[in-house]
Structure 1
């Protein structure tokens, strides 16, 4: 249990640092901005208590908000992502898997399940993020275009990070 907490804490620090130092400055004409820090929420253990999940999601969002000088935009999107995560687990996982304390990673859950989970979760996060950030229906097509491009960019980065880290780990466990 202590190992899981330390591993998630290290993942939090690493992904927040990458988001703030590297990915904050990467974008495509303010249309596509990657937000791979959502992996912090996506990769929390399956059976984490709901209260702790929402507190961690809110704290993650507030941390990113502090560096982006936004007021609760990322916090709202992260809490929406945590809500989606609970809903997705209830409809896609068996009861015995829901009671496990495994990390829902690419190597453990399989590529089809993880890709669906990451893609829909990213869309939920980005829809809430951009709607709360812009809070306007003027230039709505531009907002939708930003959501789509940023989601694609984030999903690709999420899969790349998952392939680099978690696939290698599962191969080691399989040998």
Structure 2
């Protein structure tokens, strides 16, 4: 990871800027808001130490919170994703691939495994994010609809980025 530090720093800033300047301003009737900044957490090497992963997750989430004026909701959802990511990785990929320590891209994991990895991660992140934002079950079905639609849109953008930007 040290040799790729520059690449990860650039990816961090690009994803935060795209999220804050472009995607946070996209809303379709208040139901769809794509959050692709979590792609940074998804693409970190599997061998990254847990404490470092949680720290980076917090910094990423709080960066989005600062620019979006939200009180720690993104930080909480991103730290949860960082905490659960090793388990998700073990669920969808082989032990050899995890121990190899490469960036878990579509080229490394394969199409089906990367889709599973992305879908599970996005669904968990968005579920926490939207229900923490609502902080109530009074609008349960509206929040559920926002979760599903935003997750689908985010997954499509993340998978599209793998085809466009990360062709390995």
Instruction: Tell me the TM-score range normalised by the shorter chain.
Output: over 0.9
Is 2:88–2:120's contact at 8 Å kept on the other side of the alignment? no
Q: Which residue of 1 aligns with 2:31?
A: 31
Counterpart in 2 of 1:57?
57
SS at match of 1:151: helix
Measure the CA separation in 2 of the matches of 1:107 and 1:63.
29
Q: Could you tell me which residue of structure 2 aligns to residue 173 of structure 1?
A: none
Match of 1:74 in 2: 74
- Give the C-alpha shift of residue 95 in structure 1: 3.0
Q: CA deviation at 1:94?
A: 3.1
| 1:129-158 deviation digits (Å, cap 9, x = unpaired) | 011111101111000000000000100110
Where do residues 95-134 of structure 1 align in structure 2 (5 Å cutoff)? 95-134=95-134
For residues 52 and 2 of structure 1, the distance between their equivalents in structure 2, rounded to whole angstroms, comes to: 13
* Cα distance in 1, alignment partners of residues 117 and 93 from structure 2: 11
C-alpha distance in 1, partners of 2:92/2:144? 28
- Normalising by structure 2, report the TM-score: 0.96
Q: Report the alpha carbon displacement of residue 165 of structure 1 after superposing the two structures with TM.
A: 1.4
Structure 2 counterparts to residues 123-162 of structure 1, below 5 A: 123-162=123-162
Do the aligned residues in 1 keep the contact of 2:130 with 2:147 (CA within 8 Å)? yes
- In structure 2, distance between residues paired with 1:79 and 1:71: 14
Q: How far is 1:18 from its partner?
A: 0.4
Matched residue count: 168
What RMSD, in angstroms, separates the aligned Cα atoms of the two structures?
1.1
Q: Does the C-alpha gap of structure 1 residues 84 and 144 become closer, same or farther in structure 2, counting only changes over 3 Å?
A: same
Q: Secondary structure at the match of 1:45?
A: coil
Q: What is the Cα deviation at residue 162 of structure 1?
A: 1.1
| 3-state SS in 2 of match to 1:32 | coil
Cα distance in 2, alignment partners of residues 103 and 109 from structure 1: 9
Provide the secondary structure at the position in 2 that maps to 1:27: coil
Say yes or no: does 1:10 pair with 2:10: yes
SS at match of 2:38: helix
Query: Where does structure 1 lack aligned partners over 5 or more consecutive residues?
Result: 171-175
Q: Which runs of 5+ in 2 are unaligned?
A: none
Counterpart residue number, 2:94: 94
Relative to structure 1, the CA distance from residue 48 to residue 9 in structure 2 (aligned partners, 3 Å threshold; closer, same or farther) is same
